[in-house]
Structure 1
Amino acid sequence: MQMLIVDDEILFVEGLKSDLHWETFGVATVHTAYNIRQAKEIFEAHPIDIMLCDIEMPQGSGLELLTWVREHYPKTESIFLTCHADFKFAQQAIQLGCFDYLLKPVALSQLEEVIVKAKAKINKESELQQYSRYGQFWVQHQPILIERFWLDILHETIPSNLEAIRESAAERNIPFSEEMRFLPVLISVQRFYKELSLRDEKIMEYAIQNSAEEMIVEHKEKGQVLLLGSRNLLAIVSWDQEAEPEMKLLKQKCEAFISSCRQFFYCDISCYIGNRASGVCT
């Protein structure tokens, strides 16, 4: 981490810089500034993680500097050191989001403790930001990963045994259990009623895929529709019950989907409903 000490008392700054064992609590570089102008120049040249700052200085107050830092470098944690136990100063500092407010003379052990806490807060926020980025990645890419997972099973890239499927699912953060049951529905495009270029046919296949997801699968968490090529698609429907009415409902969905494709996509579709299977036997 990089630290910046800002104080117009040069001897105090140099003493603080030399007296603290910075490396023991993870500070690699300590920068010094004696006024706001110098502090801003250092901020613009270096990534400052923690700022130790006096409040009352001849060429501008620490509160003014903190206002600027919060606007331009909001991730920097700021700690105030001051000779004045003024409530208004403390109140303003808190409102501006300073990490702590210490009175001079401050014991080195107390200052070290505050710096360690500030560092811990920075590390925690960094972890949360990283997890947030990972979360966004999963939201954006999870459907693609699940589709790849099923295609790998179908093409036997993933061996058709429980342990291999479980490990592959875990690697991709995909929920999996032995109790899960699935019903495959093969969707085959028999013919298009009008002449289509190869590009237009591919676009039509994607449209049919999206329509199948809406009409047959209905909800993303209940299954997925895969493009198999050669005018074939595969709907994998999550199947939690053995009741006959559920199969009847699925047949009705397929019939409605066939009718919809004839009307909107100018093609004849056939749907072949398979047998229930566990993820191991798919």
Structure 2
Amino acid sequence: MYKVMIVDDELVVRDGLKQTIEWEEHGFELIGDYENGRDAWEAIEAFKPDLIISDISMPFMDGLELAGLVTAHYPYIKMIILTGYDQFEYAQQAIRLKVSDFILKPITAKDMRALLVKVRLEMDEETKRREDLGRLRSQLHLSLPLLRERFLERLVVLGLGRQEIEGQFAFFGLPAVTPPFIVMLADIDDFGEREAWMDDGHDAEFFRFAVYNIFEEVISTRSNALLFRTREERLVVILNGAEGEDELYVGAYGMAEEARHHIEKYLKFTVTIGIGRACSSPEQLPVSYKSAQSALDYRFQLGKNRILSINDLEGSQGRAMPAALPGDWDRKLSASVKTGSGEAACRQIEFLIEEFRHSRMPIEAVFLQTQRVVLTLMNVMQELGAHEAEDLRKRQLWLTDIYRFKTLDEIEVWLKAIASELAASALDNRNLVASNQIAKATEYIEEHYAEEKLSLQHLCRHTLMSTSYFSLLFKQYTGETFVEYLTRVRLERAKELLLATSLKFYEIASQVGYADPNYFSILFKKHTGSSPRDFREKQAKESLR
């Protein structure tokens, strides 16, 4: 049984969750509810819950402050954040604080039950994983190769003092290094065609090891290179000891190209490699590592399967920061989607991506700008009436899906797919509404055709549409103008009366909406080729044959 607590300053929310959720049936024990983060934090320190469900906006200490404290002191405690649509920036901060999930208010009991089932499964999996792998993990932590990798990772990420560096090099039996130094950072772009059938971490780990093995073979003939893997599953190569920086850069590029080529040729997928700036001492390796990271980040704008040197990239002059998008850009995108114009919406997204590409802004800034676009599309989805649980879940995933993309091209395809889907939905909805309105109009004509004063304006008041838009839709759906349709209905009824009754022609004219019998006769002959008299006599003769 997992312990859970609720934190929300609204009593009705707390009482609603307490009374409508059968907590124990879902594997949870509700140990308390609190109206602000300050009171909750005291209880958290005392009771150490497994799960916290917290609102963002609260007095004394809000949900984000509480999440920050929990993350810092009890990272194993899961947090679910409740938020509203107008708290988008807060939701972004919650994502950065690595909360387990966040839900948009108002939340239903059904949504909360589904979320509890999901969280319970995740917690059960984590517990099982800890139990099954606990012994193996402790053995791995004690293994010398892993300790060596963690040391080298600390060396390039955090930086170490000269004395510790020399001591650890001696302990691990690493060869002595001499200046200058350059760090290379390699990351797998994706697994190519294998992505379609890879279904577990074992496959991915196998191919990561294959990449590592290729790099190991490439550097095996060089005495001035150290290779290791980071916890983010990236490969790092530390090069040192050339005649000068220029020679070291040439060696780094050649080594990177050789490894990239072999991976593409033999493994059938690609890597991108960032080459950092040279530094003059091992204590400065974090500077080279960070610049290698920055070079690798340019994959986002320039694409995959490349070798990216920070020196080359910083030499190209682009705008330092993105130019602001036109003030009406969001409005144009919304209008394109809501009017069902998927092509126009895609053109707006292409414009945005091109702006990102030329601006060379940092990835974090691109993600933030993209989240603005997602928020625009979320608002459109809301306006289109998408309120189902599946739609709400889809919107929530959009905000976090952004971080899985590695290139602008991938983001462009993703945004276009969302915009096109929404535009198609808007168009279908508009067509359905229009079809119903025209059906309502034709039904009204069929019922009121005998009224002499039946007019376009009268019909538009009945359907609550403007005359211009109604005329456009009516012609589109019926193939006739209002006058043509009305005339046809009246004359068809007149034919029936001419054949089935002995009414005089002026009486028939009156019954189908024409007060002037002469006008009726002229109109009848124009559309049928016969006068009413000739039509009746001709049909009567044919019926006698």
TM-score range, shorter chain: 0.3 to 0.5
Larger strand fraction of residues: 1
Larger helix fraction of residues: 2
Q: Which has the larger radius of gyration?
A: 2
TM-score relative to the length of structure 1: 0.47
The structure whose RCO (Cα within 8 Å, separation 6+) is larger is: 1
